[in-house]
Structure 1
């Protein structure tokens, strides 16, 4: 093998290695403009979403079917969550979104309880029925100071 052939082989090997590295970095980094559009967004309004963060999981029957894409405060002083769901997940209009906790002090997530309606919420639609986060600190203080009923 000549010196020129060896240098050419090493160059091609380095280019292929660099291309593979770039491909893996983009795939693992989940660059939004390169991802397949295999999800859609629906919104849910809550009175209280204490502890729910962007990226929290959205689950149906304990199976992760999406994540929280955005958390913001709405006009009527309600928390609005944008839920990014997989395309295969159909959410009937009578479904309920609840803020739940993984264990006693675990991370918060959104639990979807799917309803039985034949009509589904369209992408960009809003879940009407929601159950807000349970504030354990306020419950303990109410119980400790005797104002719990």
Structure 2
């Protein structure tokens, strides 16, 4: 008798947990108010599943009702919007990440508030999704690989191929050329100074009186 009671209690507890879980899922999907359907087509590999939320400007307004694979490379998605919620026709649909465990949702992004709204059964055009953490990490990895390749190439050119040695030789040659040019410039300055001094002495040696007499004759 006692054993049978324990089994019955366990069955009722299990049944209660199942009902609670199913009821939570049912309520999350709209409960008695199933809402009206809208459609959108996304590329394969978007990790969309039935029951995931639909967000309007970050606010939950519905859930994904059905996802079907098509032969032309799209996920034909049907989602239901809560009755009383209006989705502006300027909205586009994108797949947005929610949480850190790979969960996603459909994000409806209107260009602005108000305006005409989608009617039940309309197809919402898809927009450009914001970059995810995985995308940013992939770009960071790509940049790191590029920097590493550039570093290795620079090391190959400057170290293995004797680039540093050639650079030092070029600097030394430039310094020697600069010194030679300085010597030539100093020598030219001395020559000019000697010529100017000679001209000045010659001018002083000329007798101004003789020059005047010559001019009178």
- Compute the TM-score of the two structures, normalised by the length of structure 1: 0.62
Work out whether 1:72 is the aligned partner of 2:73.
no
Q: Work out the CA distance in 1 between the residues paired with 2:127 and 2:71.
A: 17
Work out whether 1:140 is the aligned partner of 2:138.
yes
The residue matched to 1:76 in structure 2 has which SS?
coil
Offset at residue 95 of structure 1 (A): 0.6
Q: CA RMSD in A?
A: 3.4
Offset at residue 132 of structure 1 (A): 5.1
8 A contact 1:49–1:132 mirrored in 2: no
Which ranges of 4 or more aligned residues in structure 1 deviate by more than 4 Å? Answer: 132-135
8 A contact 1:49–1:133 mirrored in 2: no
The gaps in structure 2 that reach 5 residues or longer are 1-18, 147-217
Offset at residue 120 of structure 1 (A): 1.8
User: If each structure's strand is expressed as a fraction of its own residues, which one has the higher value?
Assistant: 1
**Where does residue 50 of structure 1 map in the other structure?**
46
Q: Larger Cα Rg: Structure 1 or Structure 2?
A: 2
Higher RCO structure, 1 or 2 (CA under 8 Å, sep 6+): 1
8 A contact 1:50–1:133 mirrored in 2: no
Offset at residue 139 of structure 1 (A): 6.9
Cα gap change, 1:93 to 1:99, in 2 (>3 Å): same
Offset at residue 83 of structure 1 (A): 1.1
Offset at residue 72 of structure 1 (A): 1.2
Q: Work out the CA distance in 1 between the residues paired with 2:129 and 2:80.
A: 19
**Where does residue 127 of structure 2 map in the other structure?**
130
The gaps in structure 1 that reach 5 residues or longer are 1-24
Cα gap change, 1:132 to 1:62, in 2 (>3 Å): closer
Cα gap change, 1:49 to 1:113, in 2 (>3 Å): farther
Residue 39 of structure 1, aligned match among 35, 40, 54: 35
Residues 8-27 of structure 1 mapped to structure 2, 5 A cutoff: none
Aligned length: 120
